[in-house]
Each structure stands twice: as C-alpha cells, then as structure tokens.
C-alpha cells in the first residue's frame, strides 16, 4: 500500500542534503550561472567523498539488503528534489550515476551493471551520460541514424554518427574517466526494432566532444555534441544479452522506454525542488514587504496574491504526489509508464507556472539578477523539454489510457 509519509531513512538523508544545498549550492548558484562551463569541483568532490564514505555512489537508486521494503527510487526522488531546491543546474553535475547509468541499470546484464557502475566507487569523481538525440531525431527516437556495425573479424562494434544535446557529456568523456551510452541502430531499415544501446568509455578513439552549448538555463550543467567516427567498442559493450542482436523484436526500444520509465519521475523531482525553492523565496520576499498569506480565510476575503500563492502550493503538492506514486511503483516492480509520464508532464507544467508567476508577482525584483527568481524561471524550462517534451509525454499518457500503440496515436 502506498504511503505518502517520507520514510525515516529518507528524512535523514534529506537533512544532510539540505545542508549541502544551503552551504555548497545556493552560495555559488549565481556564479555558475554567469560563468557557464566552469565546473563546481568543490561540490562534486564533496558529493563523491560523501558517497564513498557511505559505500555507494551519489545517485544510484540501489537498495541495500538490510533496508527492508525497497525505497531506492523514492530516496533518489527525495534527494534530487532537495538538490534541485539547492540548484537545479549544479545538481546535474553530481557524480556517480545519471542518465547513462540509468540506461545500464534498465537494460544491462548483471555483469555489465557491475562492470560499468563499479567505476563510480573509484577514487575520483566519475560521470556518465546518455546519447539519444540527433539532428532530426529528438521526439521521434526511432528516427536515429547513428549506426553500429559488427566487425566479424575483430568482434567489435563500429559506431558512426553524431549525437547532440548530451547532458554531462563533457564531464563523462573529458573531465573524468566515465562513459556514455549511445543509442544506435544495427539495422537502419528496421526502425525501433534495430535500436540498441552501447557503452562508449572515455578515451575510446573515434569518440569526440565537438561542441558545448550555451544555454538559457541550467547553465552549470554541460550540454554537448558528440561525434562518433569509426568508433570501435568491445562486443560486450552492447547493453543486454548479445543474443538479442539477431532478434527482430523491439528489445532495444523497450530498453529505451524502460530507461525513461525510471528517469522521468526523477526529472519531475528536479522540477518539484526548483518549484518549491521558488515558492519559498517568493513567500519570504512577500513577507519582507509585509504580505503574509492568511491561510484559513474564506476565499472571497483573500487578496489576489494570497489566492495565487495558495493555488501554487496546491499545484506543487499535487505534482509531488504524482512523483511519489511513480517512484513507489518503480520500487515495487509495478509497470509505471503511465504514472512516470504523468508525473513529468505535471511537474513540468507546475514548475514553469510557479517560476513565471513568482517573477510576475515580484515585478522588477523578480526580473532583477539580484535575486534568484529570474534564474529559476530560466532553469525551469528544461523540465518540459528533456526526457520527452511535455507534448510527447502527454501522448504517452493518452496512449496508455486509451490503449493505443504509438503507430496508432502520434
């Protein structure tokens, strides 16, 4: 039975993370926003050392056997919410398991999980990234053109193509000995059935970061283009069982969807943390101006600002509950494609609405760089773009409810 009370173990973790957010994120938020492509190493090294001391990697959703009921994804959602309350861009620089490792966890064999994820427990911070998007293949992931061809003589996969908008790609390949997961097709005529994920490790010849984006928001996080030119990876770096190679079923695409089912609620949690930060700062700024929210009064007696703030609180809370349901389902092994996309749609809408309204209510102070409201307004937009845009996740929700396949409702 789902329980909305935060488990005690998670409360403890969040208390620690709040200290990190207060002391290592907020004070440098503006600096890393204004100095795009600078790396917050103090934060990164601290998170890495802390995670090692606890015997794991910062962002792994794994459960220890001692824990009783599985709460790994719930814990991750709470951690991400709190880190994003600190700074949604710096949070994306957390070492030890992001989208690339989510793909490894969702699609890899037990041996591959151990081989690739063990490096996060090493001495230096290590990063990972996931490369799906290409020019002409964003929302329609089945249109990817990056190819993987098996060299039968050397038993290596040869990858060719270009990936764009890769979060943390620079950190994974250049700033650390990490890895990226590249989605490529082993049969361009087969559409989604030909898609497979491949791990490309830092330092692999033929894999190069070619461009760093300059962005509207989450500027503390690097977003890059990556070119793969005759890039050879070992046969065993295809994620999942090698036997699926000859199988025409949609194993690869299902792997992509399984990855998104796990990661979309986490992206939603990022949005919720940012929205909560905004609402709290808004209320503080209003209080400084002598405006407090008179909860409990009949609605007709409230000012329009009070109504706005209360409406925002309702939106925030309802969106967070959708996230909690989606991660609870992950933890309990229940199919959650519907809840995962729902939580992402809702949280994306809510964070954009709350940050926009906060800037509007505070007027010039909302627009000024003296406060973080304008930054958070810019940081919010990404929640509605990556891991499937708002429109695409709405399509997923509609298909799930109506029982349509993607070919029937697009």
Ligand X SMILES: Cc1cc2nc3c(=O)[nH]c(=O)nc-3n(C[C@H](O)[C@H](O)[C@H](O)COP(=O)(O)OP(=O)(O)OC[C@H]3O[C@@H](n4cnc5c(N)ncnc54)[C@H](O)[C@@H]3O)c2cc1C
Which residues here bind ligand X, judged by CB under 6 A? 99, 129-133, 138-139, 165-167, 215, 223, 382, 385-386, 389, 391-392, 395, 410
Distant-in-sequence contacts of 307-310, Cβ < 8 A, 24+ apart: 308/357, 308/361, 309/279, 309/282, 309/283
Nearest-angstrom CA–CA distance, 239 and 280: 43
Provide, rounded to whole angstroms, the least separation between the CB of residue 280 and ligand X.
25
Query: Could you give the dihedral angle defined by the CA atoms of residues 106, 109, 113 and 115, in that order, rounded to the nearest 10 degrees?
Result: -150
Query: From its phi and psi, is residue 230 left (phi > 0), alpha (psi between -120 and 50) or beta?
Result: left
Q: Which one from 134, 339, 374, 387 is the annotated catalytic residue?
A: 387
Q: Which residues contact 162 (CB under 8 A, 6 or more apart)?
A: 134, 135, 146, 210, 225, 226, 227, 228
Q: How far is the CB of 216 from ligand X (least distance, A)?
A: 8
Give min distance, CB of 270 to ligand X, in A. 12
Question: In terms of CB distance, is 130 or 345 closer to ligand X?
Answer: 130
Contacts of 118 (CB under 8 A, 6+ apart): none
What distance in Å separates the CA atoms of residue 223 and residue 165, rounded to the nearest whole number?
A: 5
User: Cβ closer to ligand X: 59 or 362?
Assistant: 59
Q: What's the closest the beta carbon of residue 218 comes to ligand X, in angstroms?
A: 6
Q: Which residue is nearest to ligand X, using beta carbons? A: 138
Smallest distance from ligand X to CB 349, Å: 13
Burial 27-43 (b: 16+ CB within 10 A, else e): ebbeebbeebeebbeeb
Q: How many residues does the chain have?
A: 410
The structure tokens listed for 116 are 């690739």
Helix ranges (DSSP H) in 216-363: 251-288, 304-331, 337-362
Cα–Cα distance, 410 to 406 (Å, whole number) = 6
Give the residue with the Cβ less far from ligand X, 33 or 308.
33
Q: State the nearest-atom distance from the C-beta of 386 to ligand X, in Å.
A: 4
Is 387 a residue of the active site? yes
Choose between 116 and 386: whose C-beta lies nearer to ligand X.
Answer: 386
Q: In 168-206, where do the E strands start and end? A: 179-185, 195-201
Answer yes or no: are the C-beta atoms of 133 and 99 closer than 8 Å.
Answer: no
| 8 Å CB contact between 343 and 270 | no
DSSP for residue 25: I
| Residue 14 or 130 with smaller CB distance to ligand X | 130
- Complex with ligand X: residue 238 or 395, whichever CB lies closer: 395
What positions carry a catalytic annotation? Answer: 387
């Amino acid at each position: 039975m789902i329980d909305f009370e935060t488990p005690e173990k998670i409360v403890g973790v969040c208390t620690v993370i709040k200290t990190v957010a207060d002391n290592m994120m907020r004070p440098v938020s503006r600096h890393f926003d204004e100095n795009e492509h600078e790396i917050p190493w103090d934060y990164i090294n601290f998170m890495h050392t802390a995670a090692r001391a606890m015997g794991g990697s910062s962002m792994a959703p794994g459960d220890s056997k001692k824990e009783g009921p599985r709460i790994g994804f719930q814990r991750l959602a709470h951690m991400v919410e709190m880190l994003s309350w600190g700074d949604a861009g710096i949070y994306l620089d957390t070492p030890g398991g992001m989208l690339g490792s989510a793909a490894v966890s969702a699609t890899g064999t037990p041996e591959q999980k151990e081989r690739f994820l063990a490096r996060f427990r090493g001495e230096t911070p290590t990063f990972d990234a996931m490369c799906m998007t290409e020019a002409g293949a964003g929302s329609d992931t089945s249109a990817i053109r990056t190819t993987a061809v098996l060299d039968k003589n050397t038993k290596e996969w040869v990858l060719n193509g270009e990936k764009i908008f890769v979060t943390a790609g620079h950190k994974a390949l250049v700033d650390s000995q990490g890895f990226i997961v590249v989605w490529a097709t082993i049969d361009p005529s087969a559409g989604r059935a030909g898609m497979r994920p491949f791990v490309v490790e830092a330092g692999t010849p033929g894999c190069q970061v070619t461009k760093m984006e300059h962005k509207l928001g989450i500027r503390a996080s690097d977003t890059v283009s990556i070119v793969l030119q005759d890039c050879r990876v070992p046969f065993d770096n295809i994620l999942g069982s090698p036997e699926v190679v000859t199988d025409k079923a949609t194993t690869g695409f299902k792997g992509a969807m399984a990855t998104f089912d796990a990661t979309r609620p986490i992206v939603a949690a990022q949005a919720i943390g940012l929205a909560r930060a905004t609402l709290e700062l808004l209320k503080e700024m209003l209080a400084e101006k002598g405006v407090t929210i008179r909860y409990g009064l009949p609605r007709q007696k409230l000012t329009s600002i009070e109504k706005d703030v209360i409406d925002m609180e309702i939106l925030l809370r309802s969106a967070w509950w959708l996230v909690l349901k989606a991660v609870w389902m992950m933890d309990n092994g229940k199919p959650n494609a519907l809840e995962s996309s729902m939580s992402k749609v809702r949280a994306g809408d809510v964070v954009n609405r709350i940050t926009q309204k906060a800037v509007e209510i505070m007027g010039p102070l909302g627009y000024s760089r003296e406060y973080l409201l304008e930054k958070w307004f810019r940081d919010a937009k990404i929640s509605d773009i990556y891991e499937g845009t708002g429109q695409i996740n709405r399509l997923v929700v509609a298909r799930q409810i109506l029982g349509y396949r993607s070919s029937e409702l697009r």
